[in-house]
Structure formats: C-alpha cells, structure tokens
Amino acid sequence: MYDYLIIGAGSAGCCVAHFLHQEGKSVAIVDREGIAGGASGAAGAFLSPLPGKKNLYNSLVNDALNFSIDFYKNLLPNIVEKKGVLRIPNNNFNKDKLAQSYIKYSYYDTQKLKNISKNFMDIDGYFYENAAVIEPTEISKKLIENCDFYKKDIKKLDFKDGIYNIDEIKAKNIILAQGVSTSLVEIPYMKISPIFGLRIDVKTTTKIPFNIHKSISVSTNKQDGTVSIGATHERHDNAILECLTTCDKCPFYVNSEQGQIETLLKQAQELIKLEDLKVVKIYKGARATIKSYFPVIGKVIDYEKSLEKYPSIKNGTKIPPDSLEYFENLYIINALGSRGFVFGPYLAKILTQNILHNTPIPKEISTQKLFYKTARAKAN
C-alpha cells in the first residue's frame, strides 16, 4: 500500500514523486512507456527565461526558472550546462519586445557574435545569462531513484473504501501526470492540445558558446559531445490525433518526419554554421498545452457533480472552491507546455505543499480557475 501512486513518469510525475518522497511519503510511479518515455524524453531540454514586459505568465515562467535551475544543480550538478541563451528576434518576439524586456540582457550585434565565433551567421540577438540545458532522461531517473517504478498501461481507476486498486497496486492517493494522453477521469474543463515536435542530437566540430533560440533551439556543446536541436510547433486537435501509442506509430511522424528533420537542420544552420555535422539520434514527442498556456495543478474537480449541486455557477454565482465536488484523493499536474523542465520542479513543490500542508495554489494555475471559466463559458 502506497501513500501516493503517480500515473506518468515524465517531468511532472517524477518531480512530484521526488518531493513527496522527501516529505516521507511512500510513492510508486507508473508509465506505459518507461521513465521519460513521453514528451519528457524528447525534450531539448532547454531552460530559458521568457522575456518581454512583465505579466502574470512570464513572471510564473521566470520564477520557475530561477527555482528549477538551482534545484537541478543541487540534484545532479554534472548535467546542468548553464552557459546562457542568445535569443534572436522572430515574429513572436521582435526587437522592440526583446529590448523592452524586464529580464536583464546584453545586446550582441553581429560583429560581437563573430568575434566570439566565426561560425555565427549574420545574426544579432539578446543574451540572457540565466539559461541552461539539461539531460532530461537522466534527471527523471534521478528524481525517482527512491520510489518504486512499474511499467504499466493503466486503463482505469478503481476506488473503493478509501483505497485505489490499480492493477494490484494499492494507493491512498493518485496523482495524474499524463501529459497528452487521454485522462483517466473526465475533466471537461481542461482541454489538452498536443503539440508535436522533434529533437535531433548531432555531433559537430563547431564550438557553440551558449544556447541559441529563434523559433527553434540549438544547444551549446553538451558533456557527452552532442548538440541538441529542437522545436515543437505542430498543433493538432486531439479529436483528430489522439496520443495513445508511442510516437513511432503516430501517423503525424510517419508522414512528415524526414521533412521536419531537414527543416530543423536548415534552421539551425541559419543561426550558426555547424561543421562536420552528423545526426546521432532523433527524438519525437508531443507536449500538452491548454488554451491559456498556463499549467494546471491541484485537486481534480468532478465537473458534472459540481454543476448538479450548484447549477447557478453557470450564471456566475460565486461558490467557494471548498464547496465544489472533487474526485476523492485525486490530483493533477499537467499542461506544462513548452517548458516542462522549467515548470516541473517548481509546480511539483507547490502541489506537494498544497497536498501535505494545505498551502494555497496560485489562482492562475489552479484547477478551480479553469473549472469556473469553462462552466460560465458553456452557459453563454
């Protein structure tokens, strides 16, 4: 009998497992693909600030970044390459937006970049010191080294007499950390969109002094001698493409993988000339995002039962969160978007503190915020 069973051994699930274990809880974690077998194993995994004028979302990202870089450095110092990131203006972040950033930066013009490395193309950009790249699978394994791991595909949740019985594993509480996979309970207020992407690890004789980010990311040279190039762009309606199996069987990649590889490599070469380039490994994955871009953590609300009990919520009546109906002993952490390794430790810490010590979850990342929004939107 475990105190907690976590479904999904990606960044989200492994981080929660780690913090629960640190608080003395017995923890098991399951994943049908193995540890970091979903989006997490495919991630770059770049840890970068989000520039721009200060707002709720970039404050959350940048607070999480500060916390997570320190956290990883304490956990596994050898796998954190903290050399900063050069951000090149693009359609989303033009020069004005980057120049007005509340995050401290240094502007590097083309000549300065060419003085650093003759391989830089004719680009200029904004340099942020507090950025790193890590090795996602090693981190995930380290996070759960003291927890029991089971490779299992969980089909349903059975809850009886205060205990979850999941394929002979018994647990008092469940944490759903399923990424893009179909949720094991109905959560109509949380519509996850998978966004597909690719990471290519290459070998090159070019020395890359720091990470470079435009619409794709190119890492500095990592300790294993590789450079990661990655991007996630392709949004799909999950009614059309459901993530049920490994990416190798996914029609999306089968039809477009080669084209995506060529595009990524071409985009990387437009930033820095990569000499003696050899592709070593290709990773595929889909990350989970919701419309607001904010991640979501907390107790799982039973949507139907809550609205049955308080139909006037649909018309805007304010019902205190504690009065809503919840699935018993069931929590979620999901929608980490393109920043799963930035958010993972930070959100897992907040969620763990909430579960064990009842500390509040910031409203913008709570399940309640999404619930009220959806209930009211559906009524209008």
Stretch binding ligand FAD (CB under 6 A), from 42-50, 160-168, 233-241, 310-318: 42-50
**Considering the rule CB under 6 A, would residue 39 count as an interface residue with ligand FAD?**
yes
In the bound state with ligand FAD, the residue whose beta carbon lies nearer, of 285 and 298, is 285
d(Cα 157, Cα 252) in Å, to the nearest integer? Answer: 30
Region for residue 263 given its phi and psi (left: phi exceeds 0; alpha: psi -120 to 50; beta: otherwise): alpha
Length of the chain: 380
Please say which residue, 199 or 299, places its beta carbon nearer to ligand FAD: 199
In terms of CB distance, is 43 or 218 closer to ligand FAD? 43
The least distance separating ligand FAD from the CB of residue 119, rounded to whole angstroms, comes to 22
Question: Between residue 244 and residue 263, which ones bind ligand FAD under the rule CB under 6 A?
Answer: none
Q: Do the strands 169-176 and 2-7 form a parallel or antiparallel pair, or are they unpaired?
A: parallel
Instruction: Say how far apart CA 85 and CA 107 lie, in whole Å.
Output: 12
- Judge whether 348 and 18 are in contact, CB under 8 Å: yes
Q: Which of 2, 4, 5, 10 binds ligand FAD (CB under 6 A)?
A: 10
Instruction: Give least dist CB 97 to ligand FAD, A.
Output: 20
Which amino acid, one-letter code, is at 123?
I
Question: Which is nearer to ligand FAD, 179 or 321 (by Cβ)?
Answer: 179
Binding of residue 178 to ligand FAD (CB under 6 A)? yes
338 binds ligand FAD (CB under 6 A): yes
Binding of ligand FAD at residue 339 (CB under 6 A)? yes
Rg (CA), the chain: 21
Up-side HSE of residue 352: CA atoms within 13 Å toward CB? 24
Largest CA distance in the chain: 69
Residue 187: CB minimum distance to ligand FAD, A: 13
CB distance 285 to 42 below 8 Å: yes
- CB nearer to ligand FAD: pick between 49 and 321: 49
**Is 69 among the residues that bind ligand FAD (CB under 6 A)?**
no
Q: Closest approach of Cβ 123 to ligand FAD, in Å?
A: 20
Q: Which stretch binds ligand FAD (CB under 6 A): 251-259, 336-344, 357-365, 372-380?
A: 336-344
Q: How many C-alpha atoms does 220 have within 13 Å on its Cβ side? A: 21
Sole window of 9-17, 201-209, 305-313, 350-358 interacting with ligand FAD (rule: CB under 6 A): 9-17
Q: In this structure, what token pair is assigned to residue 170?
A: 């018994």
Residue 363 CB-density burial (10 A; 0-12 exposed, 13-18 middle, 19+ buried): exposed
Q: Per DSSP, which regions of 219-337 are E strands?
A: 227-235, 278-289, 296-301, 326-334
The token pair that represents 329 in the structure block: 């002993």
Binding mask 181-220 for ligand FAD (x = CB under 6 A): x--x------------xxx-----------------x---
Q: Residues interacting with ligand FAD, by CB under 6 A? A: 7-13, 30-33, 37-40, 42-46, 152-154, 177-179, 181, 184, 197-199, 217, 230, 232, 285-288, 334, 336-342
